[in-house]
């Protein structure tokens, strides 16, 4: 495949960025999107040009670091996939692909496609844990949890903190992320003793970091690579009201 790539290039947070165009041939439909960027970078390096900086770690859809807009969609146009799981077979030979970093005030650009997502880590540190003694594995097994609740808790716990929900939202809201974290604990008996303190601390930190309110458009759910559901936000709101 031969592609034209329009990629946001920006030296650092203070520098003014701009799109640069690159023609890349030899792309296999079997490559992942990140492998396609690797190919571009090896060409740029061989031409003594600066490679494109992008974030990645696991390349298995787990770490949440590989987020970027691809043709305007966070993580690309295919639902339920992270950028590292996105295959080049979803693109056409000769296509122009536009690639940008997350655009949200709480996520300043560090370089090219890399943004600083530490604002989400701060929300996690504020309350995304349990500090009660939960016991060893046998005690967990004797602590009965309804199947429905454990399934919902697990579905929330698979949030990878990638920030696509924030990037998709016109208010840069982090409520889908926070609601997944709050739900993961609120649904289990081990999470209940600290439920009030947790939800207040996480919501306060979310506001302090500059994330906006829920826009009720559902863009976050549509773009979440782990398909975290909107009803978690309703649970977040209920937990918050109950905490006062
Ligand atoms: S809710 Fe979805 S989009 Fe938001 S951080 Fe978690 S995995 Fe990423
Ligand atoms: S590189 Fe870890 S989720 Fe994509």
pLDDT tens, position by position, 93-113: 999 999 999 999 999 999 999
Task: Confirm or reject: Cβ of 209 under 6 Å from ligand 2.
Answer: no
Closest ligand to residue 104's CA: 1
Q: What is the pLDDT of residues 68-93, one digit of tens each?
A: 999 999 999 999 999 999 999 999 99
198 lines ligand 1 (CB under 6 A): no
Parallel/antiparallel/unpaired status of strands 69-70 and 73-74: antiparallel
Domain map of the chain by residue range? 3-111, 117-242
Token digits of residue 158: 């698979």
**pLDDT for 134 beyond 80:** no
> Does residue 36 surpass a pLDDT of 80?
yes
More confident residue, 189 or 44: 44
Give percent of the chain with pLDDT exceeding 90: 93
- The 10s digit of each residue's pLDDT in 198-225 is 999 999 999 999 999 999 999 999 999 9
Ligand 2 centre from 156 Cα, in Å? 18
Number of the ligand 2 atom closest to the C-alpha atom of 61: 3
Q: With 90 as the cut, is the pLDDT of residue 142 above it?
A: no
Asked whether 74 lines ligand 1 (CB < 6 A), one says no
Given ligand 1 and candidates 66, 117, 224, 227, which is best to mutate, with the most ligand atoms within 8 Å of its CB?
A: 224
Give yes or no on whether 3-111 and 117-242 have one common fold: no
- 81, 83, 119, 164: residue to mutate for ligand 1 pocket, most atoms within 8 A of CB: 164
Under the banding of pLDDT at 50, 70 and 90, the label for residue 141 is confident
Residue 32: the pLDDT is 98
Q: Is the CB of 226 under 6 A from ligand 1?
A: yes
Is the distance from the beta carbon of residue 163 to the nearest atom of ligand 1 less than 6 Å? yes
The pTM assigned to this predicted structure is 0.95
Report whether CATH 3.10.20.30 matches the domain 3-111.
yes
> From the CB of 165, is ligand 2 less than 6 Å away?
no
Span of 104-118, 124-138, 178-192 with lowest mean pLDDT: 124-138
Mean pLDDT of the chain: 96
**CATH 1.10.1060.10 correct for 117-242:** yes
- Give the atom of ligand 2 at the shortest distance from the alpha carbon of 57: 1
């Amino acid at each position: 495949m031969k592609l034209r790539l329009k990629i946001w290039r920006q030296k650092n947070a203070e520098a003014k960025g701009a799109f640069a165009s690159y023609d890349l041939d030899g792309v296999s439909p079997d490559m992942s999107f990140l492998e396609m960027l690797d190919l571009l970078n090896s060409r740029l390096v061989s031409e003594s040009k600066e490679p494109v900086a992008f974030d990645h770690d696991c390349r298995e859809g787990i770490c949440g670091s590989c987020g970027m807009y691809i043709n305007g969609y966070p993580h690309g146009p295919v639902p339920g996939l992270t950028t590292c799981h996105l295959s080049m077979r979803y693109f056409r030979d000769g296509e122009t692909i536009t690639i940008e970093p997350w655009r949200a005030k709480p996520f300043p650009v560090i370089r090219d496609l890399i943004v600083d997502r530490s604002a989400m880590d701060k929300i996690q540190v504020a309350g995304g844990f349990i500090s009660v003694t939960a016991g060893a594995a046998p005690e967990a097994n004797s602590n009965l949890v309804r199947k429905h609740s454990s399934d919902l808790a697990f579905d929330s716990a698979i949030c990878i903190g990638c920030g696509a929900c924030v990037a998709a939202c016109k208010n840069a809201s982090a409520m889908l992320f926070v609601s997944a974290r709050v739900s993961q604990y609120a649904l289990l008996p081990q999470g209940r003793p600290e439920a009030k303190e947790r939800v207040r601390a996480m919501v306060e930190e979310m506001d302090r970091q500059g994330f906006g309110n829920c826009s009720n458009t559902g863009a976050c759910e549509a773009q979440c690579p782990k398909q975290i559901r909107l009803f978690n936000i309703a649970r977040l709101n209920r937990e918050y009201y109950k905490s006062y």
